[in-house]
Structure 1
């Protein structure tokens, strides 16, 4: 029993941390970096004391939330590039990065505007691009990509999908990636996005 209690406490602390960071990223995306700490605690369903014990200042919370964002992006690219099937790896990167951007783009924009020198973005991007270039090369060698598709096309696609709702971002990424593929399209597309203006007009996907 004594051994189980500290393990449960550690698990609870990790859960609290994850909820706080998820709530912070969501609120920073919605309202900017000025959102009060108490509102973050309410969204995360933790007490203010728990929040401040883990993150004594708002800046510490902002920095950790952004570091988590970079780690998530790096992990998506690393896992996709490690896939022995390059087309499957490329699909997973596009799907997961577009969804990540859709959820937290407002926060990323707010952070990079307020703290342009806080992170070596050039080094981060360079590492991501080296990995993606290797995956692109493998996909071409496997005959999965059109010969005229270049890495810049992938960056264009990811940039064009920024700011879309998650549902629309997944659909857009899948549609755009199919245009890269050599030969006939074969991958199933995600469900179509529901745009509020079309729903209000009574339109339903067919």
Structure 2
């Protein structure tokens, strides 16, 4: 079973639809036991970092997420909350990744919205995916580069388009809104 974390952030339905189109059963839940025993966990999100973190802490989800042993995929805000801190609301994150999340400088249009590809990419999440393949982004905040960075994109400046450490994977873009190439990335994750 694939568990999708239910918390104070949107975009759960489109992630659920994308996974079910691939033939997998999903459950959207904030039940700690169900998250712990799921085969894979998806941590999606569209929203604001500080209110989302408050919800995670209030429900005890913060400690459960950190302790998960199965593959976990953070998407967009989910990725940012897996980092150590965010300038959005001055919040401490879950600290899985040693990245800071910062606001893009206003040197171009913010948010970064639309299709973009990578300048570098590595790892099993990107099996069959090329540097030139475009994914869909909508974000005003970005994760800095670190040793956990497995894909780099540039908008105003280079940033982590994807991260990986142990069983935790995370992407800044929205694979569920990225057509066939996004579907391939989700499939790669589900087959880990």
TM-score of the aligned structures, taking structure 1 as reference length: 0.26
Report the structure, 1 or 2, having the larger strand content.
2
TM-score of the aligned structures, taking structure 2 as reference length: 0.27
Question: Which of the two has higher C-alpha Rg?
Answer: 1
Report the structure, 1 or 2, having the larger helix content.
1
